Amino acid sequence: MKSTVAQALAGALGYIYLEPLAEERGRRRLRDLQARGERRSLAAVTADIRQRDLQDSTRDVAPLRPAHDAVRIDSTALDVGEVVGAMLDVVRAGPA
């Protein structure tokens, strides 16, 4: 069973998998929701993210998971510029 990435980007020279903690993803999502005037608790937003992650990673067709040879980047404490920089470092380093 292939992952979504391996199916969508078959033949890519490499893969990068960003994996921030669910709690940080919840904080980011909550900020977006609050900016749109929505009111939700951090706990509820984070629980929704965990549930979706479980569904996405256990589905029968193209489960969401890193390619076996993906470089994993913990982007929990990184802003967008830092994530891009980390990804560029991986690209510049070339194949492992």
What pLDDT is attached to residue 69?
87
Which positions of the chain have pLDDT values less than 70? Answer: 1-11, 96
What pLDDT is attached to residue 6?
56
CA distances from 29 to 40, 55, 81, 83, 86 (A): 10, 18, 18, 17, 22
pTM of the model: 0.77
DSSP 50-85: HHHHHHHHH-SSS-----TTPEEE--TT--HHHHHH
What pLDDT is attached to residue 1?
45
pLDDT digits (tens, 9 = 90+) for 76-96: 999 999 999 999 999 999 876
What pLDDT is attached to residue 2?
47
